[in-house]
Amino acid sequence: MGSSPIVVSFLILSFLVTLSSFAGETEARAFFVFGDSLVDNGNNNYLATTARADAYPYGIDYPTRRPTGRFSNGLNIPDIISEQIGSEPTLPYLSPELTGEKLLVGANFASAGIGILNDTGIQFLNIIRIYKQLEYFQQYQARLSALIGAEGAQELVNQALVLITLGGNDFVNNYYLVPFSARSRQFALPDYVVFLISEYRKVLERLYELGARRVLVTGTGPLGCVPAELAMRSRNGECAVELQRAAALFNPQLVNLINGLNSEIGSDIFVAANALQMNMDFVSNPQAYGFVTSKIACCGQGPYNGIGLCTVASNLCPNRDLYAFWDPFHPSEKANRIIVQQIFTGSNKYMNPMNLSTIMALDSRT
């Protein structure tokens, strides 16, 4: 008695359904993002703040060709990491779409304008400061528990990948925001950096307490080399000295902090990404990376297109892939791809104590 074609195709169908639900269980790990405009996927769209990227030409190269709140012409660093780990992009925590199954993908808590310190970015009014982001992470976990149970939620968080990008604004939008800023009167630069690192320690410790077990921590980029600083502080197109000094002081101390925390915990929880070096590669030799310039922003006005904001009235370059900087402060998608490539496969010059490919390989075995 031969099986009818209908029975056979039913069997094949149920086999495929079983396969795909199995694939569902072994889906990409969850991804959580904390920090500032370099990693904000659109939280500020939901806030009464002046730090926003919700108008043309932001998003001009995003798949939808529409602004999303990302400070990029297209994808930003977390989007490209999501893409590489086989995940959907993280939704902003404040998005009404972040419910049900979407919670399993993770969430993005970042908010443009914030820093390590509570007094960083006050001129932007309502932004989600880092302690509030951590509070939202706790709230997220309660919502996740309601969906999949406390044990499942704990497991999802422990196995997740976490990215935190902080620090640049503590210089640009605090210490150096105005001449004789309160913080610059309170601290000499080296002491300010020590203070920032001691405050950052508390943030990272809290993240660990909240269940994070693999945390990529990016240092600051070359703050003095961005088109905004070339326009405002540079004599002849060289990177602004004071901001470069700040980055040079901050980044090695961040690596020390991370090494210290890991050895206290007895595990490689935190991983430092040397964003300064990653950016300096294409800033000092743009042509080698396919850029026509690393000094002039694609979108902006004034010298280096570095003055003011990128708006519909700004100069706009026709091919964003030829520019290292999209706007006066933020890299283009093309530059973000170079950075993420180094996060995944970079040597110890870029990633400490290991790169993300190594992490993914280690974690898939345990």
Ligand X SMILES: *[C@@H]1O[C@H](CO)[C@@H](O)[C@H](O)[C@H]1NC(C)=O
Q: Look up 21 and say whether it is catalytic.
A: no
Nearest approach in angstroms of CB 112 to ligand X is 18
112 within 8 A of 124, measured Cβ to Cβ: yes
3-state secondary structure (DSSP) of residue 293: strand
Kindly identify the residues of this chain, within the stretch 48-77, that bind ligand X according to CB under 6 A: none
Q: Among residues 54 and 199, whose Cβ is nearest to ligand X?
A: 199
Which is nearest to 336 in space by CA: 183, 196, 163, 189?
163
Q: Among residues 9 and 198, whose Cβ is nearest to ligand X?
A: 198
Q: Report the C-alpha dihedral over residues 52, 57, 60, 62, rounded to 10 degrees.
A: 0
Give the binding range for ligand X (CB under 6 A) out of 10-18, 75-83, 290-298, 350-358: 350-358
Nearest approach in angstroms of CB 257 to ligand X is 16
Q: Does position 199 bind ligand X by CB under 6 A?
A: yes
Nearest approach in angstroms of CB 354 to ligand X is 4
Give the binding range for ligand X (CB under 6 A) out of 145-153, 247-255, 309-317, 343-351: 343-351
Q: Which of 146, 290, 345, 362 is close enough to bind ligand X by CB under 6 A?
A: 345
222 within 8 A of 172, measured Cβ to Cβ: no
Q: Which of 203, 232, 248, 354 is close enough to bind ligand X by CB under 6 A?
A: 354
Q: Which of 36, 37, 72, 294 is catalytic?
A: 37
Q: How far is CA 317 from CA 305, 327, 331, in A?
A: 10, 11, 14
Q: Among residues 3 and 347, whose Cβ is nearest to ligand X?
A: 347
Kindly identify the residues of this chain, within the stretch 86-125, that bind ligand X according to CB under 6 A: 118
Q: Does position 186 bind ligand X by CB under 6 A?
A: no
Q: Which of 54, 321, 357, 360 is close enough to bind ligand X by CB under 6 A?
A: 357
Q: State the Cα–Cα distance between residues 194 and 202, nearest whole angstrom.
A: 13
Nearest approach in angstroms of CB 116 to ligand X is 9
Nearest approach in angstroms of CB 199 to ligand X is 6
Q: Look up 37 and say whether it is catalytic.
A: yes
Q: Does position 84 bind ligand X by CB under 6 A?
A: no
Which structure tokens are listed for 86? Answer: 């086989």
Q: Which of 8, 347, 362, 363 is close enough to bind ligand X by CB under 6 A?
A: 347
Q: Does position 358 bind ligand X by CB under 6 A?
A: yes
Q: Does position 348 bind ligand X by CB under 6 A?
A: yes
54 within 8 A of 69, measured Cβ to Cβ: yes
Q: Which of 8, 14, 131, 263 is close enough to bind ligand X by CB under 6 A?
A: 131
Q: How many residues bind ligand X (CB under 6 A)?
A: 10
Give the binding range for ligand X (CB under 6 A) out of 59-67, 80-88, 158-166, 344-352: 344-352
Q: Look up 54 and say whether it is catalytic.
A: no
Which is nearest to 286 in space by CA: 337, 220, 335?
335
Q: Does position 341 bind ligand X by CB under 6 A?
A: no
* Spatial CB neighbours of 90, under 8 Å, sequence gap ≥ 6: 31, 32, 33, 41, 78, 82, 105, 106, 107, 108
Give the binding range for ligand X (CB under 6 A) out of 7-15, 289-297, 331-339, 349-357: 349-357
* Spatial CB neighbours of 251, under 8 Å, sequence gap ≥ 6: 219, 220, 274, 275, 276
- Quickly tell me which residue has 């000092």 as its tokens: 284
- Quickly tell me which residue has 């989007």 as its tokens: 79
Q: Among residues 199 and 242, whose Cβ is nearest to ligand X?
A: 199
3-state secondary structure (DSSP) of residue 225: helix
CB atoms under 10 Å from CB of 344, counted, come to 18
In DSSP notation, 248-284 reads: HHHHHHHHHHHHHHHHHHTS--EEEE-HHHHHHHHHH
Which structure tokens are listed for 139? Answer: 């709230």
Which residues in this chain contact ligand X in the complex, by CB under 6 A? 118, 131, 199, 345, 347-348, 354-355, 357-358
Residues recognised as catalytic: 37, 327, 330
